[in-house]
């Protein structure tokens, strides 16, 4: 893919894009925060289980 065709595809993409309104932005923000909370909760549970395993194996 040459530079000219890349720039052409970038310009076409920017022409098709639109700015979100406040309602749509808030929806995306809530979804992102929910995803971060879920991934953080899973990481916390994994750490907790690992700590419990370490304590019981002594």
Residue ranges per structural domain of the chain: 19-58
Residue 28 · residue 20 · CB < 8 Å: yes
DSSP assignment of 2-37, as one string? Answer: -HHHHHHHHHHHHHH-----HHHHHHHHHHHHHHHH
Rounded distance between C-alpha atoms, residue 35 and residue 26, angstroms: 14
Residue 8 · residue 16 · CB < 8 Å: no
Q: Encoding tokens for residue 38?
A: 């879920």
31 or 20: whose pLDDT is higher?
31
Residue pLDDT, tens place only, 22-57: 999 999 999 999 999 999 999 999 999 999 999 998
1 or 53: whose pLDDT is higher?
53
Q: What is the pTM of this model?
A: 0.64
């Amino acid at each position: 893919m040459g530079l000219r065709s890349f720039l052409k595809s970038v310009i076409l993409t920017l022409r098709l894009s639109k700015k979100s309104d406040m309602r749509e932005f808030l929806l995306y923000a809530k979804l992102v925060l929910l995803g971060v909370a879920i991934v953080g909760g899973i990481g916390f549970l994994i750490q907790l289980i690992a700590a419990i395993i370490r304590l019981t194996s002594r």
